[in-house]
Chains A and B, each alone.
Chain A
Amino acid sequence: MADSEVLVRVENLVKHFPITRGIIIQRQVGAVHAVDGLTFDIYKGETLGLVGESGCGKSTTGRTILQLYRPTSGSVHFEGVDLVKLKGEDLRRMRRRMQMIFQDPYASLNPRMTVGEIIGEPLIIHNVARGREVQERVEHLLELVGLNPAYANRYPHEFSGGQRQRIGVARALALQPSFIVCDEPISALDVSIQAQVVNLLEDLQQEFGLTYLFIAHDLSMVRHISNRVAVMYLGVIVELASRDELYNHPLHPYTQALLSAVPIPDPAVEKKRKRIILQGDVPSPVNPPSGCRFRTRCPLAAEICKEVKPEWREVSSGHFVACHMV
């Protein structure tokens, strides 16, 4: 995978949300360090899984890459263009190439628009199609995601969660993007539907050569769909490796703890399995720990972890980790 073409290059991406106080004259009293210096590449045609617990900045990362949140600093190169520098009309034009699938299929579709209007809207906005052609493209897209084309003039509330998520996928595909951020696209769905949607995403990837950034917290689902996996903790990526490498040889203590939480469907093995149970809670991203972010809960923490921020380095080919103890 390492020789492939880079589609998205993220460098030192930082997103801080300011905390302000005061009624008319607002002064900044702090910041939520949601994303704090990420550097990674996404290769063309791959699926990069992004895992981490709630509130670690996974979704913010996805949204900041797409410039839905403007980053505090850093750069995002997509197809050779630095998105951070783009503004207004130029950025709007780039949106054709990168799309997003949202977590909650109940909140991500406008209840006052028909399915046809929802899926056709990107086509109209970007002037890709017009009139009768929009309708044809919508019908084609519906078929593509496994829905009946006759559904175009129905409203979202008439559909189930899985069907709605398919509509969301069809909307994301409408502009034929090359890159899609999937923000926990299956977390809100029934387990039986999850597999359907994941398979749909895989089929579409093969058909159109799509590149995914797949955000999730379900480790087994990430393992199933991803080529490479990045593990996030409190606004930073602590480890990034190819799927098998990461699942078989996790290096960072946080990754090890995370993976040890996955149950094994075999009572005999499960009984002997040793879980690494982390102490304490995730520290507040308003005031993250000095040095290594994970040191407050790390079983291996030493003095150096408090003082020096661990370097993001490649320990073996394609296996990146940020830890003093590795």
Chain B
Amino acid sequence: MAQPVTLDARAHDKDALLTTKRESLWQDALRRLVRNRAAVVGGVIILMLYLMAIFADKIAPYPYEKQTLVDQNKVPAWMLKVFPTMQPYAKISDKYLLGADYVGRDLFSRIVYGTRVSLTVALIGPLISLIIGVTYGSISGYFGGRLDNIMMRIVDVLYAFPGLLFIILLMAFFRSTFARPEPGTFTYAVSQLDARLGGMLFIFIGIGLTAWETMARLTRGQVLSMREKEFIEAARTIGATDLRIMFRHILPNIVGPLVVAETLAIPGYITTEAFLSFIGLGVNPPTPSWGSMISEGAQVIRTYPNQTIFPALALAITMFAFNFLGDGLRDALDPRLRGTQ
């Protein structure tokens, strides 16, 4: 029993070296992601949408705010084949790919520019919730105990807070035309910033207020379960600091679920923006947003359905793309979850 067996083990290890090939968990996940066709399609669409947002002024044939009043509600000839009911009254103009709206603005150009709003939201939403939510949740989960308890109760309270109502109040306050704020006051500065951002400031605030809470909870739960793992204890034994344990040992192991949750949350942010714009609390006209375009189109939905359908289609395609990518990421990062919600 006291004979050294190490020599045998070494010989055995050499054989193993020749047969298995090296692969990190991330490479493995990427390979699975690429094999998932829906996820790849989603990813490509998202990439194309971002290119469209960046090069909107090159792609769009007209400026988004250019009104040509004689062209109002004009439709291209092919539209009549799709919507034959328009035949009796529609005025034809092949100048516009998807038609023009009620003040004669090119629908296609506005949809292209609308990508900017939706995709900015799709970028800012996760950014806010990752920065605030992950930091908050990590601290809460890692240090645990009373601190965790207090921090999570705060999240509970904020969770119950009516975010939408708050945004509406904010906008009523800062965008009030009745009492123009004096230059130099805080209110003035905020309303200027809002105007400068085309009215997106409050959308960011609204999403930021609510999005990080879910993320904080998720992160906290993940950190909590990771914290008890033996390799964390091993890290402590070798003298690792809390910061090192957090960044080297815990975060790399939980980043998968966090990325998946965040990707799947993006359609939610886009919907929030579209909804706010739909009810007239989003971007300032004439900045085009898919939500406000649907809202405007809805007023003439029976006579000119094209004005609603195309922005709605753009919205739907974007949401599908993010959902497919999110699903694919989830399956790739944790194959055991495949087929679950």
- Interface residues in A, total, Cβ within 8 A: 52
Main SS of the interface on chain B?
Answer: helix
Indicate whether B14 reaches chain A with its CB closer than 8 angstroms: yes
A122 and B4 within 8 A (CB)? no
Of all chain B residues, the one with the shortest Cβ separation from A23 is B149
User: Which of A2-10, A193-201, A277-285, A310-318 faces chain B?
Assistant: A193-201
User: Which of A102-110, A130-138, A253-261, A293-301 faces chain B?
Assistant: A102-110
With A24-B150, A125-B244, A196-B6: A102-B233 Cβ-Cβ less than 8 Å:
yes
Of all chain B residues, the one with the shortest Cβ separation from A197 is B5
Question: Measured between alpha carbons, how far is A24 from B277 in the docked complex, in Å?
Answer: 41
Indicate whether A58 reaches chain B with its CB closer than 8 angstroms: no
From B149, B150, B234, B239, contact of A102 by CB (8 A): B234
Indicate whether A68 reaches chain B with its CB closer than 8 angstroms: yes
A199 and B13 within 8 A (CB)? no
A146 and B9 within 8 A (CB)? yes
Task: Give every chain B residue within 8 A of A182 (Cβ-Cβ).
Answer: none
Task: Give every chain B residue within 8 A of A148 (Cβ-Cβ).
Answer: 10, 13-14, 17
With A95-B239, A203-B4: A196-B230 Cβ-Cβ less than 8 Å:
no
Question: Measured between alpha carbons, how far is A124 from B321 in the docked complex, in Å?
Answer: 43
From B24, B153, B237, contact of A24 by CB (8 A): B153
Chain B 5-48 per-residue mask, 1 if CB under 8 angstroms from chain A, else 0: 11101100110010010111100000000000000000000000
Indicate whether A171 reaches chain B with its CB closer than 8 angstroms: yes
Question: Shortest beta-carbon distance, A150 to chain B, in Å?
Answer: 6
A104 and B230 within 8 A (CB)? yes
Indicate whether A213 reaches chain B with its CB closer than 8 angstroms: no
Task: Give every chain A residue within 8 A of B239 (Cβ-Cβ).
Answer: 92-93, 95-96, 122, 125-126
Of all chain A residues, the one with the shortest Cβ separation from B145 is A26
B253 and A121 within 8 A (CB)? no
Indicate whether B160 reaches chain A with its CB closer than 8 angstroms: no
From B6, B244, B253, contact of A112 by CB (8 A): B253
B25 and A111 within 8 A (CB)? yes
- Interface residues in B, total, Cβ within 8 A: 38
Indicate whether A147 reaches chain B with its CB closer than 8 angstroms: yes
B22 and A100 within 8 A (CB)? no
Indicate whether B231 reaches chain A with its CB closer than 8 angstroms: yes
From A102, A121, A146, A174, contact of B240 by CB (8 A): A121
Which of B1, B6, B17 is the most central at the interface, judged by chain A CB atoms within 10 Å of its CB?
B6
Task: Give every chain A residue within 8 A of B229 (Cβ-Cβ).
Answer: 107
User: Which of A42-50, A74-82, A154-162, A236-244 faces chain B?
Assistant: A154-162
A155 and B24 within 8 A (CB)? yes
Chain B 144-171 per-residue mask, 1 if CB under 8 angstroms from chain A, else 0: 0010011001000000000000000000
Chain A 151-173 per-residue mask, 1 if CB under 8 angstroms from chain B, else 0: 10111011000110010100110
20 pairs, CB–CB < 8 Å, chain A vs chain B: A93-B239, A95-B238, A99-B238, A100-B233, A104-B230, A110-B231, A110-B249, A111-B25, A113-B248, A113-B252, A121-B235, A121-B240, A122-B239, A146-B9, A146-B13, A155-B22, A155-B23, A158-B20, A200-B4, A203-B6
User: Which of B's residues lie within 8 Å of A, judged by CB?
Assistant: 1-7, 9-10, 13-14, 17, 20, 22-25, 146, 149-150, 153, 229-231, 233-241, 244, 248-249, 252-253
